Structure 1
Amino acid sequence: MNEAPPSFDEAFAAQLEQLLHWRRDVRHFDVRPVPEDDIQSVLHSASLAPSVGNSQPWRFVRLRSTELRAQLATHVDEQSALAAERYADAAQRDHYKSLKLHGLREAPEVMAVFCDGEPLAGKGLGIATMPQMLDYSVVMAIHTMWLVARVRGIGMGWVSIVDPEFVGRLVDAAPSWRLIALLCIGYPSEPAATPELEERGWQSREALAQRTFEK
């Protein structure tokens, strides 16, 4: 007999809305460690995310080595300095340089998330015309773990100022793996009612009407 699906009431819906509202891209971390049980719970939640053809292409690499983490932080700082030069306007360039864009040196957990472009699971279903669906599946897993981490008071920060090939070499990733995200994970050093980039005057969330179209 199939198990009856649960019913989610209005109170749960309101809490879910709050969870989405309070999810943050965290850059400032407390150095205290995250319990292993919580890390495993967050990873387990990622495995429940939808994936094309049930291919489950996500591959998680926890960077436990102090030496590798130091190399990674230095690399990101170098890439960030290069990225700053993209801004021709001096004021905007200085604004960019003033932002804290990663917590790789403080976060107790650093995780590289890859997509296996040749997964055995799924048997190729759903990717004949859109192979990038594998990448999108990994993004869904990351978002799922992000929300579950927030429920437990754990923050996550997505670092994208990296050379994917450098990270792949650093962790000896398989040739079929593509880097999707570099995540800093840990307890935020302070609560943030407003997203940091909005608080620092970089970019606020725009109205949904500007992002919705009809044809």
Structure 2
Amino acid sequence: MSNHNDPFTAAQREGLYRAIFERRDVRSQFLPEPIPDDVLGRILKAAHHAPSVGFMQPWDFIVIDSLAVRKRVLASFNEENEKAADQYTGRRKDTYRSLKLQGILESPMNLCITCDRTRGGPHVLGRNSIVEMDLFSTCLAVQNLWLAARAEGIGVGWVSILDQQVLSDILQLPEHVYPLAYLCLGYVSEFLGQPELQTRGWRSRLPLEELVHGNGWGGSLEQETLLAQLKQR
């Protein structure tokens, strides 16, 4: 066991950055092989060690392997996906309909990460000014889980095309619990070299150097070395 104050080794840093850069939103590459309990336990533990405002830890994790439950979620997705498709016209609509946007049944398990908006009581340290900090904290748990899953060779896909109230009803959530992230998890045949939406021409990654400002919106960076680093591909 290493000392918590020890610096990361070069190999440890490389592993962390690899997980970050090779993480993908998986939809089409799931394998039926189940996730072993010890691996799932490590991933959930990583999620549970995310930072949270006031240390409120607002998350819960609903493990879903029931085919009946997943079919109900898929029905909600299909209904909402039709509504989303109607927002586009022409070739863009055709491209949208061709995209695979969920792996609810293909993945061996689904996971819903929820946010208990009452946890910690009415006055949570650090949440008085920005009440959404509990939601932001739960997003950090999602990211922790996603990176840990990638390190374990497990793909994750976030299904965002869902009616949250319908999902809450399916999962029998209390009124104060918000279903923040519905995820598909499983081993995959491959991790794509770049995000699928980028490969399909839906969107491209924005240049980082255009998104970093100095001392205020639109301010130029004076650190030439940093600017050069940001421009590296």
Report the TM-score range of the alignment, normalised by the length of the smaller protein: over 0.9
* Alignment partners' CA distance in 2, 1:47 and 1:123: 22
Match for residue 69 of structure 1? 70
The farther-off stretch of 195-204 and 48-57 is 195-204
CA RMSD of aligned residues (A): 1.5
* Alignment partners' CA distance in 1, 2:155 and 2:166: 25
Give the letter aligned to residue 13 of structure 2. Answer: A
> 1:51-66 maps to which residues of 2 (within 5 A)?
51-66=52-67
* Residues 129-164 of structure 1, C-alpha deviations (whole Å, 9 max, x = no match): 101000000000010011111111001001100011
* Alignment partners' CA distance in 1, 2:9 and 2:201: 37
CA contact (8 A) 1:55 1:123 kept: no
Compute the displacement of 1:15 (Å): 2.5
* Alignment partners' CA distance in 1, 2:48 and 2:68: 29
Q: TM-score, length-normalised on structure 1?
A: 0.94
Match for residue 134 of structure 1? 134
Answering whether residue 191 of structure 2 is matched by residue 191 of structure 1, we say yes
Match for residue 144 of structure 1? 144
Answering whether residue 181 of structure 2 is matched by residue 178 of structure 1, we say no
Match for residue 83 of structure 1? 84
Question: Bigger radius of gyration, 1 or 2?
Answer: 2
Aligned with 1:38: secondary structure?
Answer: helix
Match for residue 24 of structure 1? 24
The farther-off stretch of 164-173 and 191-200 is 191-200
Match for residue 37 of structure 2? 36
* Residues 65-124 of structure 1, C-alpha deviations (whole Å, 9 max, x = no match): 21111111121012111101011x311011011000000011111011111000037951
Give the letter aligned to residue 55 of structure 2. Answer: N
Percent identity over paired residues: 35
Aligned with 1:209: secondary structure?
Answer: helix
Task: Report which structure shows greater RCO (CA 8 Å, sep ≥6).
Answer: 1
- 1:121–1:189 Cα change, 3 Å: farther
Aligned with 1:181: secondary structure?
Answer: strand
- 1:4–1:173 Cα change, 3 Å: closer
* Alignment partners' CA distance in 1, 2:99 and 2:62: 27
Compute the displacement of 1:4 (Å): 5.1
Mind listing any 5+ residue stretches in structure 2 that lack a counterpart? Answer: 217-233
Mind listing any 5+ residue stretches in structure 1 that lack a counterpart? Answer: none
* Residues 27-49 of structure 1, C-alpha deviations (whole Å, 9 max, x = no match): 02111111111111110111111
* Alignment partners' CA distance in 2, 1:98 and 1:4: 48
* Alignment partners' CA distance in 1, 2:121 and 2:35: 31
Match for residue 201 of structure 2? 201
